[in-house]
Amino acid sequence: MKIAVLPGDGIGPEIVSEAVKVLRALDLRLEMEHALVGGAAYEAYGHPLPPATLSLCKSADAVLFGAVGDPKYDRLARELRPEQAILGLRKHLQLFANFRPAICYELLSHASSLRPELVAGLDILIIRELTGDIYFGQPRGRRVSPDGDFAGAPEAFDTMRYARPEIERIAHVAFQAATKRGQRKCVTSVDKANVLETSQFWRDVVNEVHAFYPDIALEHMYVDNAAMQLVRAPKKFDVIVTGNMFGDILSDEAAILTGSIGMLPSASLNDTGLGLYEPSHGSAPDIAGKGLANPLATILSAAMMLRFSLDQAQAADRVEAAVKAVISRGLRTDDIYSEGCSRVGTQPMGDAVVAHL
């Protein structure tokens, strides 16, 4: 089994090396090959997603991804910015189904910005469509200078667009996920159908696909209301399915209200089983290189990779149990620290997970 390892920028390299350490400790036959991506690749090759990195990913069974981005690249032309690497990987590998669980660990519920009783035991799954929508519709704007400067330009726009098969396949993914989770068996589809044609189309197609899943309840919700319900009563949700743009926004909101942003993994899958696995948080340039970052979201992403792409469910269970164990023992990185716990850095946290394994 071959894994493409792409640490990226900021805290990416630190957290990914802890996840690699955990994977090696499992004694599976994993071949891991590293490549540059994001700002790191731009520095070395002049492009955030060099052809060698892309072809490595295409030849792998799974991609383990750290994070990309740094404010120092903000003035680069859009196609050279670090973010283009992750967008390019999603598009080229057709990773259309993005799983972003928002789980509140009981021991961390006081770290939420909401009252503990609103989030304790929270376990929702956001399924975000990842290769369509306004992210990939035709953009247009008149740049004043070739390096991306719009000062004085007359207008700019992006196009929100979905094709029927794109909505159908993500709707199937959501209904199937709700079936497997076996919780409240409820899918909430989020859109803005009171304003946008794309959203009305989305809603109609989701309704059609729902006919195949009589055991699953379906509700539709406008995105503004969904943003509000997420902070009012997040536990009412089970599976949320939504488009690329709304999913970007709502998944950040859901992640932070768990109090565990440093703990949340994510998976982006295509229909061949290939997946890209990355923490839900970003590259955090402010703490990069200081050994402060929480590696657990990346370690848990590696567990998702074992389960979804490498058919190693048992190994995935072991990693997840080891993470729970180190949390129970009171080990905490800065982001989840509270009084009475032991504050540890990135590497000692990874070491503790390995020791438990």
Binding site for ligand IPM (CB under 6 A): 69, 83, 86-87, 248
Nearer to ligand IPM, 23 or 87 (CB): 87
Nearest approach in angstroms of CB 216 to ligand IPM is 26
Nearer to ligand IPM, 252 or 351 (CB): 252
Active site residue 135: yes
Binding-site partner at residue 351 among ligand IPM, Mg ion, none, CB < 5 to 8 Å by type: none
Nearer to ligand IPM, 89 or 303 (CB): 89
Nearest approach in angstroms of CB 90 to ligand IPM is 8
Among the listed residues 9, 105, 192, 335, the single catalytic one is 192
- Nearest-CB residue for ligand IPM: 83
Nearer to ligand IPM, 128 or 318 (CB): 128
Binding-site partner at residue 87 among Mg ion, ligand IPM, none, CB < 5 to 8 Å by type: ligand IPM
Say whether residue 248 binds Mg ion (CB under 5 A): yes
- One-letter amino acid at 87 equals L
Among the listed residues 123, 158, 235, 252, the single catalytic one is 252
Among the listed residues 147, 149, 204, 224, the single catalytic one is 224
Instruction: Give CA–CA dist 175/179, Å, rounded.
Output: 6
Nearer to Mg ion, 168 or 248 (CB): 248
Among the listed residues 73, 135, 162, 277, the single catalytic one is 135
Active site residue 191: no
Nearest approach in angstroms of CB 329 to ligand IPM is 31
Nearest approach in angstroms of CB 79 to Mg ion is 19
Active site residue 311: no
Tokens of 70: 């740094």
Active site residue 192: yes
Say whether residue 320 binds Mg ion (CB under 5 A): no
Instruction: Give CA–CA dist 62/52, Å, rounded.
Output: 16
Say whether residue 83 binds Mg ion (CB under 5 A): no
Nearest approach in angstroms of CB 87 to ligand IPM is 6
Nearer to ligand IPM, 37 or 352 (CB): 37
CB-CB neighbours of 336 under 10 Å: 21
Query: How many residues in the shown chain lie near Mg ion by CB under 5 A?
Result: 1
Task: Give the contacts of 206 (CB within 8 A, at least 6 positions apart).
Answer: 167, 171, 189, 218, 220, 241
| Backbone Cα Rg of the chain | 20
Binding part of the chain for Mg ion, among 1-9, 225-233, 240-248, 260-268 by CB under 5 A, reads: 240-248
Nearer to Mg ion, 248 or 253 (CB): 248
Binding-site partner at residue 83 among ligand IPM, Mg ion, none, CB < 5 to 8 Å by type: ligand IPM
Binding-site partner at residue 320 among Mg ion, ligand IPM, none, CB < 5 to 8 Å by type: none
Residues 300 and 306 sit within 8 Å (Cβ to Cβ): no
Among 247, 248, 230, 228, residue whose Cα is nearest residue 238: 230
Residues that bind Mg ion (CB under 5 A): 248
Could you give the residue numbers annotated as active site?
A: 135, 192, 224, 248, 252
